[in-house]
Structure 1
Amino acid sequence: MKEGTLTHTADTCKQDGLYTKGDMFIEPSGARHVHIGRNLGKTPVVLDVLYVDPAGKPLADSAPNPGCPGIT
């Protein structure tokens, strides 16, 4: 994390991370790892990202909201 605060919510609708400037985190890939990352603060979120994915695979896959209240 370079700037801001990222709130990370799992597909269970429970917050499983709150990341701020200087934090590092890993997000596993695949359909079993649906999550929602949101900026709930006033400072823009700026990330340095390294993707390690199989060649030819997309960097991310869209998934429907798992039904978490208040998240659209």
Structure 2
Amino acid sequence: MTGPPDDELEATLSGLPPPSSAHLAQHLPLARGLVSDTLPALGRHAQLVQVRRITLPAGGTTGWHYHHGPLLIVVSQGVLTHTLARDLSTETVRAGQAFVEAPGPEQGHIGNNLGTTPLVMYAIYFLPSLASPLSEAIPAPGPQPDSTPHSE
């Protein structure tokens, strides 16, 4: 990434106000959500922060997975059904709500859109390294079909 020309940098560092013709920054709200608990120090061990807009069509799923770092999720539209692999507990997160997904294989989960309209979420990933994948797929929890032939 290249920086501004030296004269712009010097003006910035000198503390001079911007010219009166300067355009104001534009802010576009993407999503907001209320959190039910105090947020942990999400970025404490993060080397990379990534923001993504995730859309699940009606009936869509994220598949079973986990993350290497924590995520802050804001549901902007629709209803997310979030199920944890460890005990199959399920919570419903509606538009205007936010929550934190904890990292690690023991925190495997799936997100489903059981509604009839698209689900839109904004996820902020706090990844431990530049090489960290966004997620790791895991098998569905519970008894797996037995593939060995049975004799009767």
> Into which bin does the TM-score normalised by the smaller protein fall?
0.7 to 0.9
Alignment TM-score, normalising by the size of structure 2:
0.42
Cα distance per residue 1:36-67 (max 9 Å; x no partner)? 11000011110111000111111100001002
**Separation of aligned partners in 1, 2:118 and 2:138:** 23
If each structure's strand is expressed as a fraction of its own residues, which one has the higher value?
2
**Separation of aligned partners in 1, 2:108 and 2:123:** 18
Q: Which residue of 1 aligns with 2:83?
A: 9
**Separation of aligned partners in 2, 1:36 and 1:47:** 14
**Separation of aligned partners in 2, 1:45 and 1:26:** 17
**Separation of aligned partners in 2, 1:23 and 1:57:** 27
**Separation of aligned partners in 2, 1:14 and 1:2:** 23
Q: Which residue identity lines up with residue 25 of structure 1 in the other structure?
A: F
Q: Which residue of 1 aligns with 2:135?
A: 60
Runs of 4+ aligned residues of structure 1 deviating over 4 Å after TM superposition are: none
User: Any gaps of 5 or more consecutive residues in structure 1?
Assistant: none
CA RMSD of aligned residues (A): 1.3
Higher relative contact order (CA 8 A, sep 6+): 1
**Separation of aligned partners in 2, 1:48 and 1:35:** 17
Describe how 1:37-52 pairs up with structure 2 within 5 A: 37-52=111-126
Paired positions, count: 67
Bigger radius of gyration among the two: 2
